């Protein structure tokens, strides 16, 4: 049987963005609270776990530290601080640790937008 387990976390960060619309306000440095969810798929082991979510939380903490209270424009390897690039950045950090990483989602409640990267 295939199961999916998920862990959510959040981070507060600043960014600027070059866009074709809302150019002035987007280009100005401003902040958001970002929410993220990491999903790992698999079959439960003898302990009944796809993966121990405590281990997932430990690995997430190291990604979170690279983003929380940072200016995302300056985070190495992120690129333009879009939801898409945040999903890619988080998945690139976690994929080597979790072979069953199935998806990474990032969203902003205040804006009502979201992005989900599914990993095959
Ligand atoms: N495909 C994408 N499109 C857009 C993204 C994105 O990440 N991927 N991001 C943005 C903007 O960052 C987003 O709309 C937020 O707008 P922003 O100007 O940063 O903030 P607001 O003033 O709209 O929201 P508040 O949080 O209420 O200040 C656009 N497109
Ligand atoms: Zn923004």
Alpha-carbon dihedral 42, 46, 48, 51, rounded to 10 degrees: -50
Reported pTM: 0.96
Could you tell me if the CB of 10 is within 6 A of ligand 1? no
Query: What are the Cα distances from residue 33, in Å, to 8, 11, 22, 49, 99?
Result: 13, 6, 20, 31, 28
Structural domain spans, the chain = 3-118
Spatial strand order in the sheet of 101-108: 3-15, 30-42, 101-108, 113-118
Q: Rounded to the nearest whole angstrom, what is the distance from the C-alpha of residue 32 to the centroid of ligand 2?
A: 6
CA nearest ligand 1 atom 3, residue: 82
Ligand at shortest distance from the CA of 22 = 1
Name the CATH topology of 3-118: Tetrahydropterin Synthase; Chain A (3.30.479)
- Using most ligand atoms within 8 A of CB, pick from 113, 114, 115, 116 the residue to mutate for ligand 1: 113
- Dump pLDDT digits (tens) for 11-65: 999 999 999 999 999 999 999 999 999 999 999 999 999 999 999 999 999 999 9
């Amino acid at each position: 049987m295939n199961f999916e387990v998920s862990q959510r976390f959040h981070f507060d960060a600043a960014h600027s963005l070059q866009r074709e619309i809302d150019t002035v306000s987007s280009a100005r440095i401003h902040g958001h609270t970002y929410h993220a969810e990491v999903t790992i798929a698999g079959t439960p082991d003898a302990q009944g776990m796809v993966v121990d979510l405590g281990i997932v939380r430990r690995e997430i903490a190291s990604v979170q530290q690279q983003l929380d209270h940072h200016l995302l424009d300056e985070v190495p390897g992120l690129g333009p601080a879009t939801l898409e690039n945040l999903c890619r950045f988080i998945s690139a950090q976690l994929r080597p640790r979790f072979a069953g990483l199935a998806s990474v989602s990032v969203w902003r409640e205040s804006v009502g937008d979201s992005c989900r990267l599914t990993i095959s």
